[in-house]
Amino acid sequence: MDSLMEWSFLSYAILGGLLTSITCGIIGTYVVLRRITYLAGSISHTAFGGVGLSLLLGWPPLLGASLFSVLAATGMGWIRLKLGRGKDDVLIGAMWSLGMAIGVICIFLSPGYATNVMSYLFGNILLISSTDLIIMTVLNGLIIGCVTIYYRSLQTICADEEFAKILNLPVNRLNFLLLGLIALSIVIIIKSVGILLVITLLTLPAASARLWTTQMKNMMIHASLFASIATLLGLGLSYWANLPSGPFIVFVSLFIYIVTLGIKRPW
């Protein structure tokens, strides 16, 4: 019976890890190519406010995290639109802190919070439930659908935003769409590595993939593959060491990146 339960946990974790990896590969590619790591990090930390509010109100934490992530992405997109790229870092940093501050207050006011909070801050892929898997599948489907439809337009605003404007592409709407997709992907990744480590999975596999290919589509595929290796190997190592999975996933991602740098030597 115990081994059956254990297998159930593991199979959910493996499936969840693979779903997370697909998201990381696709959205991470945009984050790396658009050079918006800081913005993505800020959105993920703001999600902590949503987790805290959910725990206080008795909602499913991923619901609050989704709400806060999407609101933060919209807010940051608006700030960037009004102030311009490069002049928005203070306000984006302020939103980062505000989300964390709201989370801390809400969690302080919630009774019996400690275990839950740790799993959202640092992730625990073994705690992925069947409901989480359904949410992750739906969000993944939404992300893949949007990217398929807008692939060329998103590629163009990432490569050459000025030219996209001249083509009369809806550049602002596409930027908001991309930020929204980043917000949704963060919700998927939180369960695996936690809010504090999300940015690792959103950047390192894609940054490694960038050095192996000269095509954006291939970069997404390579990044998903690297994220899968990091997630599954990290899960295996954490299971073997009986330690939290999130940090091990980060270690493997970093190892892949360092090995890639050693082989490809981009300098």
Partner 1 sequence: MKTCPISCSGVTYSYPNSPEALRGLSFEIAQGDYVAIMGPNGGGKSTLVSLLLGLISPNSGSIKLFGDSPKKGRKHIGYLPQHPSLDRQFPISVIETVMMGALSKGAFTRFDNDIRELGLQQLKRLQMEPLANRPIADLSGGEFQRVLIARALMTSPKLLILDEPTSSIDQHSELCFYDLLDELNQTMTIIMVTHDMHRLRQSVNKVIVVNRDLKYVGAKSDMPESLMHEQCHHG
Number of residues forming the site for partner 1 (CB under 8 A)? 28
Among 11, 57, 141, 163, binds partner 1 (CB under 8 A): 163
Among 116, 137, 155, 172, binds partner 1 (CB under 8 A): 155
What's the min distance (Å) between Cβ of 174 and partner 1? Answer: 7
Q: Residue 103 to residues 18, 38, 98, 124, 244: CA-CA distances in angstroms?
A: 28, 20, 9, 19, 22
Please, which residues have CB within 8 angstroms of residue 34's CB and are 6 or more apart in sequence? 158, 178
Using CA atoms, how far apart are residues 192 and 121, in angstroms rounded to an integer? 10
Q: Which of 128, 181, 131 is nearest to 16 (CA)?
A: 128
Among 96, 150, 248, 257, binds partner 1 (CB under 8 A): 150
Q: Which two tokens stand for residue 113?
A: 């919070």
The alpha carbon of residue 166 and the mean position of all alpha carbons in its chain are separated, in whole angstroms, by: 31
Q: For the purposes of burial, counting CB atoms within 10 Å of the CB of 63, is it exposed (0-12), middle (13-18) or buried (19 or more)?
A: middle
Please, which residues have CB within 8 angstroms of residue 147's CB and are 6 or more apart in sequence? 26, 154, 181
Q: Which two tokens stand for residue 2?
A: 């115990």
DSSP-derived letter for residue 127 is: G
Residue 242 as a binder of partner 1 (CB under 8 A): the answer is no
Among 1, 166, 240, 262, binds partner 1 (CB under 8 A): 166
Q: Which two tokens stand for residue 247?
A: 């940090």
What's the min distance (Å) between Cβ of 157 and partner 1? Answer: 10
Residue 74 as a binder of partner 1 (CB under 8 A): the answer is no
Among 107, 169, 190, 199, binds partner 1 (CB under 8 A): 169
Binding segment toward partner 1, per CB under 8 A, in 18-26, 76-84, 100-108, 164-172: 164-172
Residues 15-44 as x/- pattern, contact with partner 1 by CB under 8 A: ------------------x-----------
Using CA atoms, how far apart are residues 7 and 3, in angstroms rounded to an integer? 6
Residue 80 as a binder of partner 1 (CB under 8 A): the answer is no
What's the min distance (Å) between Cβ of 161 and partner 1? Answer: 7
190-229 residues in contact with partner 1 (CB under 8 A) are: 210, 213-216, 218-219
Give me the residues that bind partner 1 (CB under 8 A), please.
33, 149-150, 152-153, 155-156, 158-170, 174, 210, 213-216, 218-219
